[in-house]
Amino acid sequence: MFVFAALLSSALGQVAPTRSGGNPIAPHIFVADPAAHVWPDDPDTLWVYTSHDHPGTNSYDTMTSYHAFSTKDLINWTDHGQIFSLKNVPWAASHAWASDAVYYRGKYYFIHCMKEKESGVFMTGIAVSDRPEGPFKDLGFITGSEWGQDPALFIDDDGNAYLFWGHDYLAYGARLSDDLKSILPETKVELTKQLDDVFEGPWLNKINGKYYLSYAGIPNRKWPEALYYATADSPLGPYKSRGQYTKRFGLQSDTNHGSVINFKGRWLSFYHSAWGSLGNTYNRSLMAEFLTINDDGSWNEVVPSTPGISGGKPTTSRIWLEAEGGEAAGGQLMVTHVENQTPGYSGAGYVTGFRVPPGKDGALYAVAKECPSCPKRASVGSVMVLAQVAYDQEYHLKVRYSADQDTRLWVIVGAQVIKGSANSVNEVWAKATPAGFEMFDLGIVSLKAGDNEIRLFTRDNADIRIDAFELVPVYK
């Protein structure tokens, strides 16, 4: 079992856990509904896309954002932070529930479900990015996806795309148009009667030429959910139920939601639990086990365990926040902008342009427009990123940057100012980096359960380049 140091009476949740095994994965955050993928251009990296549970909540209705995780060895994990949220979707009102992603025609597409403003009905939204970690740009919702809860998107070997969704004891599938923006109405099928106890959360695999549709079901219509699977000879069925592959288990949330993926020759089963919150069904944790498949194609039972897929080694997790993510990643750029001219950056680029001279492109000090007689001063820019965590906990903070000269930085984490020397207590000096991008150690910071803004300012050097922020949880 996952071991915890203690519990707080705080409404925000628990004390940070001690590490005792592979499950839960990434215990610093509450996430659910994992969609696991290995992208064709990077077979050595496993990606998992999840919904996000706010710590201390008592409802699934409070869900507003999504995260992406990656690993190369199933032990060391990176949380890429918020990749998409309700704030990025002008047509949606609430309920950022389950999601999926797909690599299609050179782009990464992220699909999700949210309630549409006008009708209050769940729709399947679609967004796009040039990179697997996003951030993603909203493209609207998929036409014909009314009540498109818990969407899963599958690209078959012939390039045809299929959408599956399920809710409230119903399950559907349909082929999508070539641009992924609408279902083909004549292909829509209801799969409900073919799937024992089906409730929600479909997921499709193709294994040895056969189609495996796994899903969350409710045995005898009594919560909590178990995970089931069924098989067919074509994506849209007809399907034959094969029973449960993950039964109910201890410290489970009411819901469960799974995905199955082959990574480096082994089958993995991802799901979620309430292990990290000691049973709070609304604060869920990422879990995974190995799945074995028999010669006849049947799946052996997946039993939740502390070792999970790490071989019993405690998993490690870090938060890696790309500075250029901007508002789509929960952050903000003020005066600054994104470039990619200096080589050696990670992600899609870096943030620069922190100091704009007076009069250039109208970027005057804010008061100048209303006070023409006031002295004209340079605009001071900043970059802000968002760190979302489950517990009040200490983290080791570093920033990856490049600078042509020594530069003063002001760094604020929530209400905490990073301290420097006795002579300049509220600022730190970043040294010039003639060799390119380097990591600058900002020391230990305290994050609060929930959302934490990390903001960096400088007025000394307009050309400093801020690439990313790294946070590593401190376990005691």
CA distances from 14 to 9, 10, 272 (A): 8, 7, 18
Q: Could you read off the pLDDT of 348-401 as tens digits, one per residue?
A: 999 999 876 555 444 444 434 444 554 455 567 899 999 999 999 999 999 999
Instruction: Tell whether 301 and 325 lie within a shared domain.
Output: no
Measured CA to CA, the distance from residue 277 to residue 56 in angstroms comes to 9
Report the percent of the chain where pLDDT is more than 90.
Answer: 83
In this predicted structure, the answer to whether residue 345 has a pLDDT above a threshold of 50 is yes
Both structure tokens of 442? 């900002």
Residue-level pLDDT at 104: 97
CA distances from 220 to 214, 223, 252, 257, 372 (A): 18, 9, 17, 18, 73
CA distances from 202 to 74, 145, 165, 198, 373 (A): 24, 15, 6, 9, 64
In a domain, 142, yes or no: yes
In this predicted structure, the answer to whether residue 210 has a pLDDT above a threshold of 90 is yes
In a domain, 78, yes or no: yes
In a domain, 23, yes or no: no
In this predicted structure, the answer to whether residue 6 has a pLDDT above a threshold of 80 is no
In a domain, 20, yes or no: no
In this predicted structure, the answer to whether residue 10 has a pLDDT above a threshold of 70 is no
Instruction: Tell whether 46 and 147 lie within a shared domain.
Output: yes
| Domain end point (choices 267, 290, 314) | 314
Q: Which domain holds residue 427?
A: 321-473
Residue-level pLDDT at 3: 37
Name the pLDDT band for 13 (thresholds 50, 70, 90).
very low
Between residues 472 and 374, which one has the greater pLDDT? 472
CATH number at residue 299: 2.115.10.20
Lowest-pLDDT range of 111-120, 419-428, 454-463, 464-473 = 419-428
Instruction: Tell whether 257 and 189 lie within a shared domain.
Output: yes
Instruction: Tell whether 172 and 265 lie within a shared domain.
Output: yes
Residue-level pLDDT at 360: 47
In a domain, 165, yes or no: yes
Residue-level pLDDT at 358: 55
The mean per-residue pLDDT over the stretch 437-453 comes to 97
Instruction: Tell whether 97 and 167 lie within a shared domain.
Output: yes
Instruction: Tell whether 421 and 464 lie within a shared domain.
Output: yes
Residue-level pLDDT at 410: 93
Q: Could you read off the pLDDT of 250-300 as tens digits, one per residue?
A: 999 999 999 999 999 999 999 999 999 999 999 999 999 999 999 999 999
In a domain, 298, yes or no: yes
In this predicted structure, the answer to whether residue 153 has a pLDDT above a threshold of 60 is yes
Q: Mean pLDDT: which of 11-25, 83-97, 323-337, 365-379 is highest?
A: 83-97
Average pLDDT value for the chain: 91
Residue-level pLDDT at 442: 96
Instruction: Tell whether 140 and 280 lie within a shared domain.
Output: yes
| Domain end point (choices 314, 344, 369) | 314
Instruction: Tell whether 282 and 331 lie within a shared domain.
Output: no
Instruction: Tell whether 299 and 374 lie within a shared domain.
Output: no
Residue-level pLDDT at 374: 47
CA distances from 290 to 63, 301, 312 (A): 29, 10, 12
Instruction: Tell whether 253 and 105 lie within a shared domain.
Output: yes
CATH number at residue 407: 2.60.120.260
Instruction: Tell whether 135 and 250 lie within a shared domain.
Output: yes
| Domain end point (choices 289, 314, 339) | 314
Residue-level pLDDT at 419: 87
In a domain, 5, yes or no: no
Residue-level pLDDT at 312: 85
Name the pLDDT band for 16 (thresholds 50, 70, 90).
low
The DSSP secondary structure of 343-379, one letter per residue, reads: TT-STT-EEE--EE-TTGGG-B-GGGGT-TTSPP-BE
Q: Which residue has the tokens 């139920």?
A: 241
* Count of the separate structural domains present in the chain: 2
Between residues 358 and 3, which one has the greater pLDDT? 358
Name the pLDDT band for 45 (thresholds 50, 70, 90).
very high
In a domain, 3, yes or no: no
Residue-level pLDDT at 9: 31
In this predicted structure, the answer to whether residue 7 has a pLDDT above a threshold of 80 is no
Q: Could you read off the pLDDT of 66-121 as tens digits, one per residue?
A: 999 999 999 999 999 999 999 999 999 999 999 999 999 999 999 999 999 999 99
Residue-level pLDDT at 365: 42
Instruction: Tell whether 279 and 334 lie within a shared domain.
Output: no
Residues ≥6 apart with Cβ < 8 Å to 63: 51, 52, 53, 54, 95, 96, 97
